[in-house]
Structure 1
Amino acid sequence: MSSTPGLSTTKQFRNLLLSDQLEFICEAHNGLSAKIVQEAGFKGIWASGLSISAQFGVRDNNEASWTQVLETLEFMSDATTIPILLDGDTGYGNFNNMQRLVRKLEQRKIAAVCIEDKLFPKTNSFIKGDAQPMADMHEFCGKIKAGKDAQSDPNFSIIARVESFICGWGLAEALRRAEAYRQAGADGILIHSALAVPDEILAFKQEWGNRCPVVIVPTKYYATPTDVFRQHNFSIVIWANHLLRSSVTAMQKTARTLKEQEHLLSIEDKVAPVSEIFRLQNAAELQEAEDRYLPRGAEDTCAIVLAASRGSELGELTEHQPKTMVKIQGTPILTHIADAYNAVGIKDIVVVRGYKKETVNLPNLTYVDNDEYAETGELASLLKALQSRKGRAQHTIVSYGDVLFNKYIPQSLCQESDDCVIFIDSNWREQSRYSRLGGFAECSIPNSRRAFNAKVYLKQLGNKIPESNTHGVWMGFLKVSPAAATLITTIITELLAQPGNRKATIPQLLQELLKRQQPIRVLYTVGHWLDINNLEDVVQAGEF
């Protein structure tokens, strides 16, 4: 970056204007090109009127309104830290418009504006320049004075662009006007010429001397060695429209190639990668800000769906496919589950297969196989899934392949920061037929108004809790942090090392966590889920 830390952009530009060496600024026409100019090492940006109007697809005749130009400038200013000199055409009107323009430029941290002594609406200097009328000199001086009176930052600069050579009025008129503009308060003079040689501007500079800084735009006399400009003590050289023109050439070539060849092979390696666009857009900054300011969402969360068992209670429906592939309203249960996770932004979904695993083949899911599904239980499947995620520091939601749920469930789990979080349905009497073995829960606080703003934790889980102490039924959802995932991987490994635990369940894992005094946060709900255990549930699921 070429900006000077601690210096305002107006002060940076004033330093360029008064520098004892030749300085260079480069054209930009939007936020992206402005950032490219700064990254190239330039100390300033020329916000070209030609280029800004061209990127809108309109002529350089004030067809783009000054407020549209301001909006573009705001993006350019936000994207950079180096000074921007606006090509302000004729000031977009009279002295009153000029004053409002200066105030609005200062609000957007634009360092300077250049205005030209022609009539509004302007015409580009290189289109029949010698036929264009010039502004009244005294009226233009008033516009300069009005702009200087309007500025609040003493370092804001106004550059007066003299068009005498362009309009065919000659050296004497150029000098007369430049001196009048200097006395009116202009901070610098931009002397313009449409000749292919620098004769006019060199003649002007020789007569002008060093009364105030002189800025030039060598678009037409581009073959002139830069040392000539140094020798004549010019202040700033503007490369005025070359980023726009080079981008047009590149876009035309790419468009023709795509039309002719109808594939990307010949151009993909010749254009900037999408990652470079993201870098210029500063996408990484947004990610850091999201991590800092937003509640934890689904971006760093994966889901594990345990779907290895057959589900023999559904009879013929699972003769050739596992329960998770049974269709509800024409769509497999697993698809409904994946859609609910996707709806909250969880795209990383791991499915543990077992029975008839070849039939579990939905797209965009990651599969882990438990070929010993008949002899093992839920924890064996969960261990395989966790081991497949080794090295990925993600939050994980574990659920079953035969439990339907609304997106409210994973959404709520993602927003909690505790290491272990479960969902409990407090309407446990109605839902008790869906409880898995040992799924009844006693919690620190029953579901009530008092629990609404309190943190509730699991006290015990099992099938022997007295009815008076039962606060709900576990719904089959467990969210764990990366640290907790490491812990439960260790616990599952220890449990499965004991022959009697081959078919251990997640409720047993939760009980083991409680024994080790690992807090398990409880979220209460009523409904929002359906455990499909029999044919009646399949019918009911059609209305879920």
Structure 2
Amino acid sequence: MRKTRQFKQMLLSGELEFICEAHSGLSAKIVEEAGFKGIWASGLGISAQLGVRDNNEASWTQVLDVVEFMSDASAIPIMLDGDTGYGNFNNVQRLVRKLEQRDVAAVCLEDKLFPKTNSFISGKRQPLADIEEFAGKIKAGKDAQTDPDFCIVARVEAFIAGWGLDEAVRRAEAYRAAGADAILIHSALSTPDEILAFTKEWANRSPVVIVPTKYYATPTDVFRANQVSMVIWANHILRSSVTAMQKTARALYKDQELIRIESGIAPVSEIFRLQGADALDEAERRYLPSSRQKPSALVLAASRGVELGDLTKSLPKTMIPVGGKPVLSHIAAAYNQAGIRDITVVRGYCKERVDLPSLDYVDNDEFETSGELVSLQKGLKRLADRTNGIIVSYGDVLFRKHVPDILNEVSDDLVVMIDTQWRESANLNRVADYARCSRSYSRLHYSEAVHLQRLGDATELREDEIHGEWMGFFRIGPASQGQVRDILDQMLSSAHTRRKGSLPDLINTLVERGLPVRVVYTTGHWLDIDSPEDVASAGSF
């Protein structure tokens, strides 16, 4: 159903209907998700979020730009607070045409003079428009509309100006006769006396709309009993947001840290959700040529990193600062430099501290009793719809951008990256995952495919069997993702001990089951952070 038809049905439903103020695309989406059937595009709200007064200081085209974003962001009808129509009858006609083009359902026009002032600022000193002149605006607007369901609501300011009930009714009748679809009767009193006197005298000649901002203590059933058609909650989204922003700004200024406020505000992921980031991801996968698509990245970062001691007492290893930024920030930057934007992080220990922007997050709340394979399982489940391959890496491994570049260039579906300078780790007595491959690295055989035979530590592989050190990168192409997930699920369900399993355990199982795992040799350009000394040296990496 067209938005215009939805709005007109609300006016004529015979039930008390409610619409809520919004002043931006984001707030319009929030109002819609709250359950409201319509939106009030508040003049006060729009001008306030632009940082100007509600005195027509924002031009009508600037207001229209904001309303267009609101209309695009929501599927429910919008009524614009059109002030006095931004000029004479000619301006009103142009306004109506532009609103219809933007799928706005209705406009509310008030019978004050241009430029208008907010009704609650010296209301009784504000002159009102000539009745016939304002009625002419309404006629012009109705003549200009092409959608028969587009609504013009006439806002009567007689009570605001102190002109009394008789003048309010006289004006309302003139505007109804001119074609107004409803009358908005306004009052600045803290009680509904003027509103109820009007509805009694008006006797439901046409729908009545009210704005109970001042008489907020009145029970809603009073409005139902007096044949009010629609209530506008006119500025409460704006006012509540101001309160929240002021509180947060003061706390940030005073505390100079984020820890106290982070749990009380929306996560960045919620902003992305409201913005429709998922829809864009899906559109990119659907419409971009496959040659332009980059793989997704899955970063396993659920563990604490106990080997770093007090450094990870209240902070996971992946968030340890290196060169002024968290390790995870460097990892994301390296992926971004390689053109990879779809990055999912599996977090666990102190997960609330892992909240960098532009990343997707999966929680492994079993991090204390499980290992990498459980984190991988949760991550692959989130990425089940990806069709462009996945690069799995660790949250404590820094690397240059050429690492994901090379992994993505190899046409094989399952790929690991092996560092030929493995003896450095052995000489330093570091724990490492070594690789036995089908062929050692040689520039003479660079074009020949090398496949993995086994990953293991120094106790599992003899020195003469080692061809390099696994760098912690594993690419899973689209053709193998389902098979890898199935084998992983089998491993985790067959034995409780496997829940502590590592990524090399999975890779070895894939090899044992006959799946070819391609080896890409490289030299250096990565750093595994396993000790406080690594953290210190990582700054120069």
Normalising by structure 1, what TM-score? 0.62
For 1:79, the aligned partner's letter is A
3-state SS in 2 of match to 1:93: coil
For 1:264, the aligned partner's letter is L
Distance change >3 Å, CA 220–CA 397, structure 1 → 2? closer
Partner of 1:298: 294
| 1:159 is aligned to 2:148 | no
* 1:140 shift after superposition: 0.8
CA–CA separation in structure 1 for the residues paired with 2:154 and 2:139? 11
| 1:86 is aligned to 2:93 | no
Distance change >3 Å, CA 142–CA 59, structure 1 → 2? same
CA–CA separation in structure 2 for the residues paired with 1:28 and 1:165? 26
Which runs of no fewer than 5 residues in structure 1 stay unpaired? 1-6, 304-336, 350-385, 399-403, 422-433, 442-457, 459-477, 497-503, 511-528, 533-544
Partner of 2:266: 272
CA–CA separation in structure 1 for the residues paired with 2:151 and 2:236? 24
Contact 2:391–2:404, Cα closer than 8 Å, also in 1 = no
| 1:16 is aligned to 2:10 | yes
3-state SS in 1 of match to 2:116: coil
CA–CA separation in structure 1 for the residues paired with 2:94 and 2:341? 51
* 1:262 shift after superposition: 2.3
Q: Which moved more, 1:159-168 or 1:35-44?
A: 35-44
For 2:29, the aligned partner's letter is K
Equivalent residue for 2:443, pick from 432, 436, 440: 436
CA–CA separation in structure 2 for the residues paired with 1:134 and 1:50? 19
Matched residues, percent identical? 65
3-state SS in 1 of match to 2:222: helix
* 1:282 shift after superposition: 2.2
Partner of 1:321: none
* 1:108 shift after superposition: 0.9
Q: Deviations over 1:132-157 (max 9, x none)?
A: 11111111111111111111110000
Once the two structures are superposed, the pairs formed by residues 99-498 of structure 1 within 5 Å of their partners are: 99-296=93-290, 297-300=293-296, 343-346=337-340, 394-395=389-390, 414=408, 419=413, 436-439=443-446, 481-483=477-479, 492-493=511-512
Q: Deviations over 1:43-67 (max 9, x none)?
A: 1111110111011111000011111
Contact 1:164–1:174, Cα closer than 8 Å, also in 2 = yes
* 1:254 shift after superposition: 1.8
CA–CA separation in structure 2 for the residues paired with 1:258 and 1:389? 34
Partner of 1:379: none
* 1:224 shift after superposition: 1.4
3-state SS in 2 of match to 1:285: helix
Aligned Cα RMSD in Å?
Answer: 4.1
For 1:46, the aligned partner's letter is W
CA–CA separation in structure 2 for the residues paired with 1:281 and 1:338? 21
* 1:256 shift after superposition: 1.7
Which runs of no fewer than 5 residues in structure 2 stay unpaired? 300-330, 344-371, 381-388, 394-398, 416-440, 450-473, 485-506, 525-541
CA–CA separation in structure 2 for the residues paired with 1:159 and 1:405? 61
Contact 1:301–1:414, Cα closer than 8 Å, also in 2 = no
Q: Deviations over 1:70-114 (max 9, x none)?
A: 111111111111111110000111111111111111111111000
Q: Deviations over 1:267-288 (max 9, x none)?
A: 2222222222222222222222
For 2:443, the aligned partner's letter is R
Equivalenced residue count is 384
Q: Deviations over 1:414-462 (max 9, x none)?
A: 48987489xxxxxxxxxxxx96343457xxxxxxxxxxxxxxxx9xxxx
Contact 2:296–2:342, Cα closer than 8 Å, also in 1 = no
Contact 1:102–1:151, Cα closer than 8 Å, also in 2 = yes
Partner of 1:468: none
CA–CA separation in structure 1 for the residues paired with 2:287 and 2:122? 56
3-state SS in 2 of match to 1:62: coil
* 1:173 shift after superposition: 1.3
Structure index of larger Rg: 1
CA–CA separation in structure 1 for the residues paired with 2:227 and 2:332? 70
CA–CA separation in structure 1 for the residues paired with 2:35 and 2:332? 49
* 1:494 shift after superposition: 7.9
Contact 1:34–1:76, Cα closer than 8 Å, also in 2 = yes
3-state SS in 2 of match to 1:33: helix
3-state SS in 1 of match to 2:103: coil
CA–CA separation in structure 2 for the residues paired with 1:267 and 1:405? 34
CA–CA separation in structure 2 for the residues paired with 1:388 and 1:188? 60
Contact 1:190–1:216, Cα closer than 8 Å, also in 2 = yes
Distance change >3 Å, CA 140–CA 436, structure 1 → 2? same
For 2:477, the aligned partner's letter is S
3-state SS in 2 of match to 1:190: strand
| 1:55 is aligned to 2:55 | no
